[in-house]
Amino acid sequence: VLKEDASLPKAEKITIANKDVALGEGEKKGARVKVSGRIHQLRTQKQVTFITLTDGYGQLQCLLQGELTRTYDAMTFALGTSLTLYGELKKVPEDKKAPDSRELHVDYYEVIGSSPSGEDAITNKVSHAQNQWDQSMLDNRHLVLRGDHAAALMKLRAHTEWAFVKTYHDMKFVKVAPPALVQTQVEGGATLFNVPYYDEKAFLTQSSQLYLETVLPSLGNVYCIEKSFRAEKSLTRRHLSEYTHVEAELDFIDFADLLEHLEEIICRVIDAVLEDTEMAAFLKELNPTFQKPQRPFLRMKYSDAIEWLNKQDPPILNEEGNTHVFGDDIAEAAERRMTDIINRPIFLTHFPTEIKAFYMKKDPSDARVTESVDCLMPGVGEIVGGSMRMEGYEELMAAYEREGIPAKDYYWYTDQRKYGTSPHGGYGLGLERFLAWLANQHTVRTTCLYPRFMGRCKP
């Protein structure tokens, strides 16, 4: 059994991120520290055991020598084992590699929680060779999240969300928290999740847009970062049942203002992410060729996109296998091919009324189309959907009628047109899609902690 040498100085408790500790070098003694974490990598040689310890803040190379390597505990070390290591922090010789320039020369340790080796070992449950969106990897998502790749993505995600909060705050937008349990639809009945609500019927929200609109008069420009839910029946790379929706609504603007604001928010968020050296390093690893988008983004009208698709050689066809005609939905495959070929952010604008949501404002110069925009990014396609909103009371009532929406349930939304209407618009950005683009992910499934999509509601 291992005993701590009582003659050694008392160890100072640190986390791996703590860089403010004296390092030993040559004759000079380094600080004696204790640091808790889990074994992330393990390499055993005859007289030396190398541990890469992780504590969520960073990774530290640790060295055990001599009798420390011969205890029962040391022989049963495995990936995941949690322990507290005591020892001297030393500078790593220039010619040696380590996660940072320090290594811990361990003089004592305590195992906190062992982890299995053999059949049950973490390495047998998750494999870096596999795609992290494989079913078995998703079943073991809780262990996948211990890996470097997933952890970097989750940190990047956290930071990106913070960058949105910061940027909106700097732009004087007020954050609100609309409800998730609702009794109205925003984006069509086909993707509503029903939930029993006492003696009533309710849905999980598809979008907080309608609620954001209601507070423009008193709060000015507003935003929220909330979950949205869609009962999507298709399994695609970019559809989730539950996703994080960054939504904003702007008052007294026109369509050009909306597009300009969108460019601004996207670029400022990217700047705020890249400003952080740790995030910039993650991004470099995840997406080595990433380049900040150039402003202005390409603006392309829906009708021009239809023409563009048909002009390709061979033409890019619609889902029925025909050339596109005005009024067709530009489906995911066609949209993505177009975006990949053009290979820069696109604002696709002025969609026909029939294929867009009930609330969208018509283009005053062409009644067939709406003042609507999708922002398309290479590799993913649509990451943002937005529009100007109908201002007129009668027009909105007619839109309910057209869509078969019971106007009475929307009285609170309609009232915005009754009590002092205004030209306003907004958008929703799917955080997972934004991240899939930013970090070059094959699918949005790896950009969420525990993805939800048709057929998966665990872990």
Binding site for ligand 4AD (CB under 6 A): 186-187, 207, 209, 230, 232, 239-240, 243, 245, 247, 382-386, 426-430, 432-433, 444
User: Apex CA 291: angle with CA 290 and CA 296, to 5°?
Assistant: 140
Which of 22, 190 has the CB closer to ligand 4AD? Answer: 190
CB of 456 vs ligand 4AD, minimal distance in Å: 13
Q: Point out which residues pair with 251 in neighbouring strands.
A: 424
Distance in angstroms (rounded) separating the CA atoms of residues 384 and 361: 17
CB of 277 vs ligand 4AD, minimal distance in Å: 28
Tell me the H-state helices in 275-383.
277-286, 302-311, 332-342
Question: Is the bond leading into 423 cis (omega within 30 degrees of zero)?
Answer: no
Q: Point out which residues pair with 229 in neighbouring strands.
A: 242
Contact 318, 334 (CB under 8 A): yes
Q: Can you read off the two tokens belonging to residue 176?
A: 């609100």
Which of 51, 338 has the CB closer to ligand 4AD? Answer: 338
CB of 93 vs ligand 4AD, minimal distance in Å: 48
CB of 10 vs ligand 4AD, minimal distance in Å: 52
Question: Is the bond leading into 459 cis (omega within 30 degrees of zero)?
Answer: yes
CB of 132 vs ligand 4AD, minimal distance in Å: 17
Three-state DSSP at 369 gives strand
180: exposed, middle or buried (Cβ count in 10 Å: 0-12, 13-18, 19+): middle
Determine the straight-line distance between the first and last CA of the chain, rounded to whole angstroms: 39
Which of 59, 372 has the CB closer to ligand 4AD? Answer: 372
CB of 192 vs ligand 4AD, minimal distance in Å: 12
Would you tell me the crossing angle of helices 277-286 and 148-170 to the nearest 10 degrees? Answer: 130
Distance in angstroms (rounded) separating the CA atoms of residues 418 and 310: 44
Would you tell me the crossing angle of helices 411-418 and 393-403 to the nearest 10 degrees? Answer: 150
Q: What is residue 279's DSSP assignment?
A: H
CB of 22 vs ligand 4AD, minimal distance in Å: 49
Contact 88, 105 (CB under 8 A): yes
CB of 239 vs ligand 4AD, minimal distance in Å: 4
CB of 230 vs ligand 4AD, minimal distance in Å: 4
Tell which residue, 407, 446, 420, has the closest CA to residue 149: 446
